[in-house]
């Protein structure tokens, strides 16, 4: 009787352990795709800004058009424009430099997600 009781208890513990391992939820790897899409959109903006030789006001307008509701930053040389809350946990940044008539312009953009 004692042996039977002990064996059953072990079997129950073992099966509960297997059940708890099986209950571990599947891990989601969605973050990489979100980051990729944000990076692509930032790249789109930088390309268009470089082509149009943009101003900070246009950059502000375009940022809000593409990343409506998101926090981030856009910069042209030393001039910066901020959107939303700045202390974000994760952000993605991209930069581009173009030369025009011996003048160098540095564009930057970062988005929080």
By CB under 8 A, name the binding residues for other proteins: 1, 4-5, 7-8, 11-12, 15-16, 18-19, 22-26, 28-30, 33, 36-37, 40-41, 44-45, 47-48, 51, 61-62, 65-66
In the complex, least distance from residue 87 CB atom to other proteins, rounded to whole angstroms: 26
User: Which CB atom, from 46 or from 75, has the smaller least distance to other proteins?
Assistant: 46
Nearer Cβ to other proteins (22/78): 22
Are the CB atoms for 100 and 52 separated by under 8 Å?
A: no
Least separation in angstroms between CB 34 and other proteins: 9
User: Which of residues 51 and 104 has its CB atom nearest to other proteins in the complex?
Assistant: 51
> Smaller CB distance to other proteins: residue 33 or 101?
33
CB of 23 to other proteins, least distance (A): 5
Helix axes 31-52, 56-66, angle to 10 degrees: 150
């Amino acid at each position: 009787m004692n042996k039977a009781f002990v064996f059953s208890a072990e079997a129950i513990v073992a099966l509960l352990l297997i059940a708890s391992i099986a209950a571990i939820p599947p891990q989601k790897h969605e973050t990489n795709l979100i980051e990729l899409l944000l990076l692509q959109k930032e790249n789109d903006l930088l390309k268009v800004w470089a082509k149009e030789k943009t101003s900070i006001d246009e950059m502000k307008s375009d940022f809000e058009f593409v990343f409506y509701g998101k926090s981030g930053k856009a910069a042209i040389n030393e001039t910066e424009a901020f959107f939303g809350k700045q202390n974000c946990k994760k952000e993605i940044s991209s930069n581009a430099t173009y030369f025009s008539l011996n003048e160098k312009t540095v564009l930057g953009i970062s988005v929080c997600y």
